[in-house]
Amino acid sequence: MTGRSEFERRTEPFRKELLAHCYRMLASVDEAEDLVQETYLRAWRSYSSFEGRSSLRVWLYRIATNACLTALEQRGRRALPSGLGAPGDDPTGPASPTDVAWVEPLPDSLDPELVVTGRESLRLALIAALQHLAPRQRAVLILREVLAFPAAEVAVMLDTTVAAVKSTLQRARARLDEAAPDRSSVIEPTDPQARALLDTYIEGFEKADVAALERALRADAAIELVGTTTWFAGRVTCLRLLEQAVGSPGDWRMISTTANGQPAAAAYVRDATGTHQAFGLAVLTPTPTGLTHIYVFNEPELLTRFSLPLQLPPGGG
pLDDT classification of 94: cutoffs 50, 70, 90 = confident
Average pLDDT over residues 267-271: 96
- The DSSP bridge partners found for residue 267 are 254, 280
Q: Is residue 171 part of a domain?
A: yes
Q: Is residue 204 part of a domain?
A: yes
| Shared-domain flag, residues 146 and 223 | no
| pLDDT: which is higher, 317 or 283 | 283
Pick from 277, 289, 106, 97: nearest CA to 191: 289
Q: Is residue 164 part of a domain?
A: yes
| Shared-domain flag, residues 229 and 268 | yes
Q: Is the pLDDT of residue 117 over 80?
A: no
Domain end among 40, 74, 108 = 74
pLDDT, residue 113, reads 59
Instruction: Measure the CA angle with vertex 59, ends 8 and 112; round to 5°.
Output: 60
Q: Is residue 32 part of a domain?
A: yes
pLDDT, residue 253, reads 97
Range of the domain at 175: 124-182
Q: Is residue 169 part of a domain?
A: yes
pLDDT, residue 95, reads 77
What pTM does this model have?
0.91
Domain end among 44, 74, 104 = 74
| Shared-domain flag, residues 26 and 58 | yes
Q: Is the pLDDT of residue 1 over 50?
A: no
pLDDT for 135-178, tens place per residue? Answer: 999 999 999 999 999 999 999 999 999 999 999 999 999 998 88
Alpha-carbon distance of 155 to 160, in angstroms, equals 5
Q: Is the pLDDT of residue 184 over 80?
A: no
| Shared-domain flag, residues 239 and 154 | no
Q: Is residue 90 part of a domain?
A: no
| Shared-domain flag, residues 215 and 306 | yes
| Shared-domain flag, residues 234 and 130 | no
SS3 content of the chain, % helix, strand, coil (to 5): 50, 20, 30
Q: Is residue 85 part of a domain?
A: no
Count: domains in the chain: 3
